[in-house]
């Protein structure tokens, strides 16, 4: 008798630049065998050391435009430089069907596109403990000009107000704390009645859980 | 500078007799310093070994009826034998204000009353892995007649269908697993945007997190 399996959780993670959301997502995926990070498709050329299917799915412009036409992407965007970036649906659905969860790190605009196509997506917004701390982290990266840092800080304040459309807010005080919260959100979402009641109903009758 | 504190989570836990919800709630409260079990008030006489404020708040019938009149209870019930049982609001609110969470173990009827008065209550329904397993557990208690066991099983099946009004369903396969899920639900609920955004907004501006 096969045990009925719940579908995994599709989680969107957004947050201002410099907040450390990538590190938090990596920590979650590393410590959970059944949580995976979504891999984007792009039409830009691979850089040294980038691996197909790990960093990106690399596509030609024509291939990418075909994916758009065939509705194979749950969101996409074309940058000023002409390169496409987007999220293919198929690899995500493969994980979800197996009961595995997928984390999709994306900006607020992309997050909105996804929520529209996948209303069951769980939306998480990562914030710094304070804007002062965010400024410290941005300066710590030492990759940007003063002007860029101030622009990012301004943008973070604007974006914070957009976080109201997200389901959850996680404060990234330490990576460990924030990762624990993200894991708790995935575990809790799997217990949501609308998500699990059909499967539980099957299992509870058959006694095959 | 005082850090703004989120209010704790008020959690209602229901489930069929014999499912082990009491054991799960105890396990959660024992392993979390900031989670407390709600204590009921009753007009019945204390039994040997029962401690005021631990097992129950013992009240006279008159005191209990005054509490009803003064709206000091978030739910109450009068049993066939004439005894009142109910949940005083004040001790719960004291915990919540301190950022501590409170678990209230109660039947589906009581759960409904609470949800009405406290729409922010988080509703958790505990189910057995299967009805076969529930039957085994009920027989294992060896405190009831065959007739009682069959009646409880029937009731469990009816109650399971009522679980649809609950926010979360937790399968009690092992106490450890179920307690972990309850803890994850509390942690996740604390990150819900509507619950935390005001406090985070205060903290993020002041840099006092």
Instruction: List A residues 73-132 in contact with B (Cβ-Cβ < 8 A).
Output: 124-125, 127-132
Residue B145: its pLDDT value, please?
86
Compute chain B's Rg from CA coordinates. 19
Q: What's the pLDDT tens digit per position in B16-38?
A: 988 999 999 999 999 999 999 99
pLDDT along chain A (209 residues), means of 10: 70 92 96 96 94 94 97 93 95 96 94 92 95 88 84 88 90 96 98 91 69
User: What 3 state SS string does A31-94 have?
Assistant: HCCCEEECCEEECCCCCCCCCECCCEEECCHHHHHHHHHCCCEEEEEECCCCCEEEEEHHHHHH
Separation of first and last alpha carbons in chain B? 9
Which pLDDT belongs to residue A199? 87
Is A135 within 8 Å of chain B by CB? Answer: no
pLDDT of residue A2: 45
Q: Is B192 on the interface with A (CB under 8 A)?
A: yes
What pLDDT, on a 0 to 100 scale, did the predictor assign at position A137? 87
Work out the minimum CA distance from A73 to partner chain B, whole angstroms. 28
**Residue B11 — very low, low, confident or very high, per pLDDT cuts 50/70/90?**
very high
More confidently predicted of B184 and A141: B184
Cα angle, residue A136 at apex, residues A28 and A180 outer, rounded to 5°: 20
Which burial class, exposed, middle or buried, applies to A201 when counting CB atoms under 10 A from its CB (0-12, 13-18, 19+)? middle
Element housing A137 (H / E): helix A131-141
**Residue A204 to residue B167, Cβ atoms within 8 A:** no
Whether residue B3 has pLDDT greater than 80? no
For an interface test with B, the pick among A174, A204, A208 (most B C-beta atoms closer than 10 Å) comes out as A204
- Dihedrals phi, psi of B137, to nearest 5 degrees: -65, -40
Q: Do A164 and B193 touch (CB under 8 A)?
A: yes
In terms of DSSP H, where are the helices of chain B?
A: 21-31, 61-69, 89-97, 108-117, 131-141, 146-162, 175-190, 193-206
DSSP-derived 3-state class of residue A122: strand
Distance of CA A183 to the CA centre of its chain: 13
Q: A203 with B127: CB under 8 angstroms?
A: no
Considering only the beta carbons, identify the residue of B127, B131, B163 that sits closest to A207. B131
Sign of CA dihedral A23, A25, A27, A29: negative
Instruction: Please say if the pLDDT value at position B141 is more than 80.
Output: no
The β-bridge partners of A75 are A87
From chain B, the residues in CB contact with A124 under 8 A are 191
Cβ of residue A196 closer than 8 Å to a chain B Cβ? yes
Query: What contacts A153, CB < 8 A, 6 or more positions away?
Result: A131, A134, A135, A138
**B24, B188, B198, B199, best to mutate vs chain A, most A CBs in 10 Å:** B188
Q: Are A192 and A180 in contact (CB under 8 A)?
A: no
| Residue A33 CB coordination number (10 Å) | 8
- Name the closest residue on chain B to residue A171, using Cα atoms: B200
DSSP type of residue B165:
G
B contact test, residue of A1, A191, A205 with most B CBs within 10 A: A191
Residues of chain A numbered 24-83 and touching chain B (CB < 8 Å): none
Cβ atoms within 10 A of the Cβ of A70, count? Answer: 8
Better-scored residue on pLDDT, A3 or B78: B78
pLDDT of residue A201: 87
To which residue do tokens 């406090």 refer? Answer: B199
Mean pLDDT over B40-69 rounds to: 95
Judged by phi (left if over 0) then psi (alpha if -120 to 50, else beta), residue B28 lies in: alpha
Give the pLDDT score at B58: 97
Q: Does domain B10-38+100-206 have CATH number 3.40.50.2300?
A: no
The phi and psi torsions of B181 (rounded to 5 degrees) equal: -65, -40
Nearest-Cα distance to chain B for A125, in Å, is 9
pLDDT confidence of residue A5:
65
* Structural contact between residues A120 and A167, judged by C-beta atoms closer than 8 angstroms: no
**Weakest-pLDDT range from A147-156, B5-14, B99-108, B198-207:** B198-207
Residues of A in Cβ contact (< 8 Å) with B200 = 127, 169, 171
Q: Percentage of residues in chain B with pLDDT exceeding 90?
A: 68
Q: Is B13 exposed, middle or buried (0-12, 13-18, 19+ CB in 10 A)?
A: buried
**B167 to chain A nearest CA, in Å?**
6
Tokens representing B172?
Answer: 């009690």
Set of chain B residues whose Cβ sits within 8 Å of the Cβ of A167: 192-193
Chains A & B: contacts with CB separation below 8 Å: 119
Q: Which of the 8 DSSP states describes residue A99?
A: T
pLDDT band, residue B5 (cuts 50/70/90): low
Contacting residues for B160 by C-beta, under 8 A, at least 6 apart: A201, A204, B16, B127
């Amino acid at each position: 008798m096969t045990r009925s399996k719940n579908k995994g959780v599709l989680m969107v993670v957004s947050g201002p630049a410099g907040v450390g959301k990538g590190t938090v997502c990596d920590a979650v995926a590393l410590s959970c065998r059944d949580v995976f990070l979504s891999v984007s498709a792009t039409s830009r050329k691979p850089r040294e050391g980038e691996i197909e299917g790990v960093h990106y799915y690399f596509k030609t412009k024509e291939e990418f435009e075909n994916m758009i036409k065939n509705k194979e992407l749950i969101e996409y965007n074309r940058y000023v430089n002409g390169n496409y970036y987007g999220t293919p649906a198929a690899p995500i659905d493969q994980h979800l069907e197996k009961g595995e969860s997928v984390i999709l790190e994306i900006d607020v605009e992309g997050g909105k596109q996804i929520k529209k196509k996948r209303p069951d997506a769980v939306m998480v917004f990562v914030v710094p403990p304070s804007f002062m701390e965010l400024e410290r982290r941005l300066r710590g990266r030492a990759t940007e000009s003063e002007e860029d840092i101030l622009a990012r800080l301004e943008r973070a304040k604007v974006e914070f107000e957009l976080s109201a459309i997200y389901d959850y807010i996680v404060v990234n005080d330490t990576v460990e704390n924030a990762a624990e919260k993200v894991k708790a959100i995935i575990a809790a979402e799997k217990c949501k009645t609308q998500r699990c009641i059909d499967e539980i109903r099957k299992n509870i009758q058959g006694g095959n859980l």
